[in-house]
A and B are shown apart, each in its own frame.
Chain A
Amino acid sequence: MKIQQLSLFLENKPRTLRVPTKVLADAGINILTMSLADTEQFGILRLIVQDAPKAKAVLEKAGCVVNLTEVIAVEVPDRPGGLDGVLAVIEQSELNIEYVYSFTARKGDRAVMVFRFDNPDQALKTLTAKRVGVIAELEQLTKD
């Protein structure tokens, strides 16, 4: 239910992004989705891959500092008001969102978005209770 996300520290300057992408390419690991948060000096690269522990190992071997974080992949109806409705549920329950980004893959006719909550266990309980769809396994995602 909670999905492992990798996060890496990158200096915000030329050529740093290719270091992890090349490592993963050489290790035959596919990136399912990603986001790159930037500040003036540095960026945090967030990745969802099929085999997070393997990816962490090869990245660390290459000298990267890598964290594993629990995130939740939430189903969002792909129509106007779809995201707003999900956020309304979250807002009512006083869950705190740290960041969000989208999956490239879908679940049937629904979009999927990665949510990092302050308290992932609490968020899971709340979303399930409010009947907001949550991806249980990455395999459930289909390519469009």
Chain B
Amino acid sequence: MTIEQWNDLPGGFHPASAMDFLPKPQMRDLQFRRLTAVVQRAFDNVGLFRSRMKERGLSPADIRSLNDIVKLPFSQKTDLRDTYPFGLFASPMSEIVRLHASSGTTGKPIVVSYTKEDIEVWASVMVRTFAACGLHRGDIIQNAYGYGLFTGGLGAHYGAEALGATVIPISGGNSDRQIMVMKDFGVTAICSTPSYFIHLIERAGEMGIDMHDLPLRAGIFGAEPWTEQMRKHIEAGSGIKAYDIYGLSEIIGPGVASEAEGQDGLFIFEDHFYPEIVDPQTGEPLPEGEEGELVLTTLSKRAMPVIRYRTHDITAFLSGPSKCGRTLRRIRRIGRRSDDMFIIRGVNVFPSQIEAALLSVEGTLPHYQIILTRDKGLDQVEVQVEVTAEIFSDKVKAMEQVQGKLAHAVERTLGIRVKIRLVEPHTIERSQGKAKRVIDKRNM
């Protein structure tokens, strides 16, 4: 089939996208078979899962239908923290070809792993993501997701290469170079966080470049929440179609769900990731269409199978036929979370990480506040820390050193630069219950 003929097909069809259109009865069949296999695999190889099953008096044989999934125990981010680094792996290290890491709730990162088969699955769901967004072999894709331990860069990269597109592994940062490449290399699609792309639109404007004049026609945006207003702002400012994608490292990375050209909800690649929506307080499954917490089970991952993972993302299933005819279940775009995690420049951050970093500098007290703002599309973090008698000195240079130590401690933990502002004692509100640690002034 030629590229022209592919482009002719509606809904960005690519052979890998065939599974997107699987009739529901066949999908449920497939999911059930895979569910029993992954439950067995986790039971045989993952100590934490096995002990939780035994506590409930359950064995893999108790899963006799898809509905029995509700019998299975939940898992959460703290499981990864508690079993750091490799305690949740179901494959021996000799079969693991990739390790990635992402922010944990405390200082240590969470570690995820992939076998060769897992990498192939990951690439295939990213191919389906790109195809759903109308991309194909003839595209030139600028991948500005961060390459490294973060799953975004390599996840998008392997998918874009498998798609057959021309991939530019530019990673994040150096905006002037991003714009030069975008223009000079004839880029047709970009992958990045939405806020970073807004920054690029502004910077391009400053450089005298109107993105409407470029061949750029699509943006594959994820790693942080963004609103319909932001989408309209991006599309109006650049002339491209802006698509929302969803993923999380604990499940696979990017590639868990994606919008399609219809931009009417995110399709979950449910032949690999089984979705449930539950009540965030009780964990009980909710009726179709009701808003709740997204729970995901990996159906095909070998190195690190994950059963009923609490994502803390709040969404709802969308019903009715989709514009493109895909039969995959859709979720509404993720707007908010049920925990205190926030996202800066695509990086997940827990206030508890910042707190631990601040307290590691002798003499500080946990009277701090995190102020988030957005300047020309770039997230800025200011951590206000109250000065205590212990850290106060009569010398300006000593105070600047304290500021430096605090900034360095936080940077070391999070991997991103923050500004430290020393404030007078008793200026940060003391609260009765849970302290309001994060003031998010970004208008997203």
Residues of A within 8 A of B (CB): 5, 7, 9-11, 16, 37, 39, 41-42, 44, 46, 63-67, 69, 98-99, 116
Q: A65-B387, A65-B389 are in contact. Are A9 and B424 (CB under 8 A)?
A: yes
With contacts A9-B387, A39-B400 taken as known, whether A64 is within 8 angstroms of B395 at the C-beta atoms is no
Which single member of A10, A64, A116 contacts B394 (CB below 8 Å)?
A116
Give A93 to B380 CA distance when docked, in angstroms: 47
Query: Does B185 reach chain A (CB closer than 8 Å)?
Result: no
Number of interface residues of B (CB under 8 A): 17
In the complex, the chain B residue whose C-beta lies closest to that of A7 is B394
Task: Report the separation of the CA atoms of residues A2 and B393 in the bound assembly, to the nearest whole angstrom.
Answer: 18
Give Cα distance in the complex from A7 to B425, angstroms: 14
B422 at the interface (CB under 8 A from A): yes
**Contact in complex: B394, A39 (CB < 8 Å):** no
Greatest chain B CB density within 10 A among A9, A37, A42, A63 is at A9
From the candidates A16, A67, A98, A99, name the one contacting B392 in the complex (CB within 8 A). Answer: A67
Chain A nearest CB from B373 CB (Å) reads: 16
The answer to whether B395 touches A98, judged by C-beta atoms less than 8 angstroms apart, is yes
Query: Judging by beta carbons under 8 Å apart, are A99 and B424 in contact?
Result: no
Contacts of B423 in A (CB 8 A): 11
* B389 pairs with A44, CB closer than 8 A: no
Residues of A within 8 A of B322 (CB): none
Q: Known A10-B424, A11-B424, A41-B421; judge A65-B388 contact (CB<8 A).
A: yes
User: Dominant SS at the A interface?
Assistant: strand
> Which residues on the B side are within 8 Å of A98 (C-beta)?
395
How distant is the Cα of A42 from the Cα of B397 in the complex, in angstroms?
A: 12
Contacts of A99 in B (CB 8 A): 395-396
- Given the known interface contacts A39-B400, A65-B389, the answer about A44 and B394 at a Cβ–Cβ threshold of 8 Å is yes
The CA-CA distance from A55 to B389 in the complex, in Å, is 16
Any A CB within 8 A of the CB of B399? yes
Contact A63 B396 (CB under 8 A): no
A16 touches B396 (CB 8 A): no
**B177 sits at the interface (CB 8 A):** no
Q: A95 CB to closest chain B CB, in angstroms?
A: 16
Cβ of A44: which chain B residues have Cβ within 8 Å of it? 394-396, 399
Question: What is the CB-to-nearest-CB distance from B24 to chain A, in angstroms, rounded to a whole number?
Answer: 59
How far does the alpha carbon of A113 sit from the alpha carbon of B90 in the complex, in Å? 72
Question: B426 within 8 Å of A by Cβ?
Answer: yes
Residues A69 and B394 in contact in the complex (CB < 8 Å), given A9-B387, A39-B400, A42-B399:
yes
Q: Which residues in B have their C-beta under 8 angstroms from that of A37?
A: 396
Contact of B426 with A67 in the complex, beta carbons under 8 Å: no
Contact with A along B366-397 (1 / 0, CB 8 A): 00000000000000000000011100111110
Offer 24 A-B interface pairs, CB within 8 angstroms, sorted by A. Answer: A7-B392, A7-B394, A9-B387, A9-B392, A11-B422, A11-B423, A39-B396, A39-B399, A41-B422, A42-B399, A42-B422, A44-B395, A44-B396, A46-B394, A63-B424, A63-B425, A64-B425, A65-B388, A65-B389, A65-B425, A67-B389, A67-B392, A67-B393, A69-B394
Taking the closest CB of chain B, its distance from the CB of A128, in whole angstroms, is: 24
Interface centre among B394, B400, B423, B427, by most chain A C-beta atoms within 10 angstroms, is B394
Give the CA-CA distance A65 to B391 in the complex, in Å: 10
Query: Which of B387, B392, B424: most chain A Cβ within 10 A?
Result: B424
